[in-house]
Amino acid sequence: MSDKTMRMMQQEVDDYIQQFKEGYFEPLTMLARLSEETGELAREVNHRYGEKPKKNTEEDSSMEEELGDVLFVLISFANSLHIDLEEAFDLVMKKFKTRDKNRWTKKKEG
């Protein structure tokens, strides 16, 4: 288990990408990559929990790896647009805690 912060992960991805002349992809390419990786995650979820079992010829992949791929591309996308994901997360949590605070039934305390 790692104690990496999102900023640390963003820096690690940036250090990795910066070693290549090509650098980050353009935003539309990033969105396409994110869609592709999300599709692979969806396929794995469908194989494990849905109605579509894997074919005998298909390789096994892990949920961790598929989620990791999505996270890597998401971090790359954010980095390419100079977005701090910790700040983005704080903004969305504020929204959920205010606008959506009564949207779902809360568990009883105690």
Q: What is the dihedral of CA 88, 93, 95, 96, to 10 degrees?
A: 140
pLDDT at 106: 87
- How do the domains of the chain map onto residue ranges? 6-98
Extract the tokens encoding 28: 């539309």
C-alpha–C-alpha distance, residues 75 and 1, integer Å = 19
pLDDT the model gives residue 20: 98
Per-residue pLDDT of the chain (110 residues; tens, 9 = 90+): 689 999 999 999 999 999 999 999 999 999 999 999 999 999 999 988 988 777 777 777 789 999 999 999 999 999 999 999 999 999 999 999 999 888 888 898 87
What the block records as the tokens of 78 is 């954010």
Q: Which helix (DSSP H) or strand (DSSP E) does residue 30 occupy?
A: helix 27-49
Q: Which pLDDT value is given to residue 22? A: 96
Assigned fold of 6-98: Helix Hairpins (1.10.287)
pLDDT score, position 52: 79
Measured CA to CA, the distance from residue 33 to residue 39 in angstroms comes to 10
Helix and strand numbers, DSSP H then E, in the chain: 4, 0
**What is the pLDDT at residue 91?**
96
